[in-house]
Amino acid sequence: MKRILLISLISLFVLPFTGWWILWIVLFLCGWFANSYREALKIGIAVAFLTWGIKIGIGFIPGGSLLMQRVADMMGLGSSAGLIIATLILGVFLGGLSAVSGYQLRKVF
C-alpha cells in the first residue's frame, strides 16, 4: 500500500511537467520490479486509478466541468460523469496492461 501511494504521489508531481504517457512508462517499470503477476496487476490498476482520478478531480473543480460536459456531449456519453467513468476505465485498463507488460518482459529476459 505504501508503494502504491508513493508511486501515485510521485506521478502526480511529475505529470504536469511531462507528457501524460509518462505514467504508462512508470507503471511499466513498476511491473518490471514486481515480484508476481498479481502484484504487477494490482500496482498498475491502483496507481492508474488514483493518479487519473485525482487529476480528473483537480481538473473538474476549477471550471473544467463545462469542458467535460461539452466533450461528453460530443462523444454521446450524455453527462460529464459518463466521461469521467469512461476515462477511468480506460486508464485502469492501460495501467494494468503496462504493469503486466513490464512484468512479462522481465520474465523473458
Check residue 18 and give its pLDDT: 87
Q: What is the pLDDT of residues 9-58, one digit of tens each?
A: 888 888 888 888 899 999 999 999 999 999 999 999 999 999 989 988 88
Residue 44, C-alpha cell as written in the block: 498498475
Q: 40, 34 in Cβ contact below 8 A? A: yes
Predicted model pTM: 0.86
Q: What is the pLDDT of residues 51-96, one digit of tens each?
A: 989 988 888 778 778 888 898 999 998 888 888 999 999 999 999 9
Check residue 102 and give its pLDDT: 96
